[in-house]
């Protein structure tokens, strides 16, 4: 981040056209920012940046606050905002939120996600563990709907804390809310109250991974 002194010098350059007949001084910057001169002098001595005043100044003059604070051009910010990552997507897989699915993980594509969505998936380091599949059925409504795309972290298979998981049983592939019981059995829960809770032995379940997000939401 630029120092207070450097920021002040940039502001002097910006407002110099407002003072064509004289040199621009610190007091002029203080007045433009709406900061009493004594307070301004203290801030400069302590290198304490007046963020609120700078935000108002930049908004009034249509200046990028990132450029003023960090020297970042608006073009570089736009480029970073439009950065995308690719996630492995099994487009022909439908994990059932209903009666079960017999599909196998065979057709692999890539799905493009924006950079700001990466944090929802656990950060860039977790992307290697993330896969995407489709949802079918209505047993997890309103949490998930038919044809939603969900993101699964294949590394997160511990059921101790519970949560929403993609699991495989003899009946097929499911997305369900899973909860471990005191007696060691597993409750398989649906968010749609029309569906009854199932109780299975851990040996009857293959945990594919924890559902960490769907497009636009995090769980």
Give tens-digit pLDDT for 163-203: 999 999 888 889 999 999 999 999 999 999 899 999 999 99
Mean pLDDT taken over the chain: 82
Mean pLDDT value of segment 60-81: 66
Q: Which of 33-47, 95-109, 133-147 has the lowest mean pLDDT?
A: 95-109
CATH fold of the domain at 84-218: Umud Fragment, subunit A (2.10.109)
Q: What angle do CA 82, 87, 91 make, to 5 degrees?
A: 120
**In which band, very low, low, confident or very high, does the pLDDT at 57 lie, cut at 50, 70 and 90?**
confident
**CATH class of the domain at 4-79:** mainly alpha
Residue 78 has pLDDT above 70, yes or no: no
Give tens-digit pLDDT for 22-52: 888 999 899 989 999 888 998 888 888 888 8
Mean pLDDT value of segment 106-120: 75
Taken in order 101, 105, 111, 114, is the CA torsion positive or negative?
positive
Rounded-to-integer distance, Cα 54 and Cα 49, Å: 8
Rounded-to-integer distance, Cα 140 and Cα 46, Å: 56
pTM of the predicted structure, to 2 decimals: 0.58
pLDDT at position 152? 93
Q: Where are the domains of the chain?
A: 4-79, 84-218
| DSSP letter, residue 196 | P
Locate all alpha helices (DSSP H) within 16-158, ordered by sequence: 26-33, 37-46, 51-61, 65-70, 74-81
> Scanning the structure block, which residue is given the tokens 């398989």?
188
The helix/strand/coil state of 68 is helix
């Amino acid at each position: 981040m630029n120092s207070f002194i450097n920021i002040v010098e940039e502001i002097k350059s910006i407002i110099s056209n407002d003072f064509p007949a004289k040199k621009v001084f610190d007091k002029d910057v203080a007045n433009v920012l709406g900061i009493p001169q004594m307070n301004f002098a203290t801030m400069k001595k302590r290198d304490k940046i007046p963020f609120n005043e700078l935000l108002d100044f930049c908004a009034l003059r249509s200046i990028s606050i990132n450029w003023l604070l960090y020297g970042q051009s608006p073009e570089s910010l736009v480029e970073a905002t439009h950065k995308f990552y690719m996630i492995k997507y099994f487009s022909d897989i439908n994990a059932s939120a209903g009666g079960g699915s017999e599909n196998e993980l065979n057709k692999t594509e890539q799905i493009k996600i924006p950079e700001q969505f990466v944090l929802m998936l656990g950060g860039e380091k977790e992307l290697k563990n993330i896969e995407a599949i489709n949802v079918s059925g209505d047993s997890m409504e309103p949490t998930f709907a038919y044809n939603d795309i969900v993101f699964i972290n294949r590394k997160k298979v511990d059921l101790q804390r519970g949560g929403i998981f993609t699991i495989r049983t003899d009946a097929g592939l499911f997305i369900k809310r899973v909860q471990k019981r005191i007696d060691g059995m597993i409750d398989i829960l649906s968010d749609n109250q029309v569906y009854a809770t199932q109780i299975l032995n851990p040996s009857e379940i293959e945990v594919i991974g924890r559902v960490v997000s769907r497009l636009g939401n995090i769980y």
